[in-house]
Structure formats: structure tokens, C-alpha cells
Structure 1
């Protein structure tokens, strides 16, 4: 037995929660006293997240042609989504400990294996190439510092 709801309702709720989080974080950013106009660093994120909240509320209550055909979410889909959410939480926890390279590699492998159902070899190769590409672009070219873990990279 599965949970019955429309896709619009599910995505609307997920993004409504995310938008609420972004709004609360953007409101907590401090004012810049040295600026000519006293606006916070979160001015634009506040506007955009407020707009997203309004649009997500519309999405939740929107009726579309498929609204009469409510679909049952399979157990496999729930496990996939739960795996990705768990992976995000693990990534956040492990990032300061293991550093960006190892944490991102493990997270990308999890995502590719869970969503793409690829072999371990293909998932690992893709994760390796992706992490190296992100590292080269952001760290080497743009000089963005990534968290370094206990392994030193």
C-alpha cells in the first residue's frame, strides 16, 4: 500500500519547505553598515524565496488534467528518495571530516547507483571525473577553497 497524492502536491510541498528554509536563512544575514544603502546580504534571496513560496503554494493547490488520476508511489521510489535524502545528510555531516573530494565522490557514487542504476565501476568512474572537474574549475581556476578533511585533501 502506498501514499496517494499528486506529483504537483508532492513537489510543491518539498520546494515549499526548501523555500521556507532559504527565506529563514536569508533573513538571518546581517546588515552591511559600510554600504551606501543599508540592505542585507540576503535581500535578493529573500525576494526570490518569497516568490518561490507563493509559486509553490499555487502549485500545491493547482488542478491539472492528471489531477483525477492520483498515482500510488511505489516502495522502490520511496526507498530511492530516502536514500538520496540520507546521502545528503551524510554528505553534510561528513564534509568537514572527510573533506570535499572524498565526501563529494561518495555522494555522487550514491546518486548514480541509486538513480541511474549503474554498475559500481561506472558510478565510481563518473564520480571521479565529476569531482575532478568541479575541483579544477572551482579550486584551480576560480580559487574557491574547499573543506579539507582528515586525509589532507
Structure 2
């Protein structure tokens, strides 16, 4: 299973592609790609959204995932920021839909719990565990890329759990 994770942001949108290698002697997670779409704050919103759409669509065509995983909206005290984030999430979902890919959404607590084992883990703990799970030595392009990889890992873990639960029936 290959999953394209997206960490939406109004300035930086992270992406990460992770594959579950179940054919290996010991099943493991494989890092395929990760990076950050950097948006110019001086550009008008429609142009920034068009950039996110174009880049995500191109990346999905390049990496050929089977599913897309996106972090669910967290509630913010700043309604204007939450609305802007919602626009980026909508564009990310549109890109996945146009590519014919199913989209799964995960709450931040679920992502942290799946990757670290604790829903209130610090960003540094998440980054450490992502590097460990993917057997990476290098630092990430950005914290957003690390978060996108964590979201993809969360989807793989969730899918594997659901598959095991279905097999036990």
C-alpha cells in the first residue's frame, strides 16, 4: 500500500509518500518521498490555492499512491485562520478526487497516537518516531513534511489494523 500524506498549511503544505512493504521478511514502512510546497504570502489567495492544486496533482501523478491521508481540521481560536486552512484542505481533497484517489482524514491526536503512542506528543517526538519508523538518518525538508509522513504512516497503521480485525471475523 502506498499512501500520500498531506499536512495542509496556508504558507507551507507538507507532503509525504510512504509505502508498506509487506513482502519483506519483516513488514516495514518505506520512505518514498517528502517535501514542502512553499507559498508566497504576497500572492493572492486564488493563485496560492492554484499552486497547491497544481503541485499536489503533479506529485500524485508522479508517485502513484493508492490513497491520500489528510489531517483533519483542528479548532482554532482564530476563525479567519481556520477558514483559510479549510480552503487549502479543500484544494488538497479536490486534487485527490481528480486523481481518482480515496481520501482519509485523521485528527491530530490520532496521528500522534498512531506514530508515537501518545496523542499529546510534542512535534519533536513525532519527528523522531517518523525518522525511526522510516529508518531515516537525515532531517526533514521541514516540520510540515515530517507531519505529512506521520499522517501517511497513521493511515497505513489504521488500514492494517482494520484488515486484521476483518480477518479475525
Q: TM-score, normalised by structure 2?
A: 0.29
Return the structure number with greater relative CO, CA threshold 8 A, min gap 6. 2
Higher strand share: 2
Higher helix share: 1
Q: TM-score, normalised by structure 1?
A: 0.31
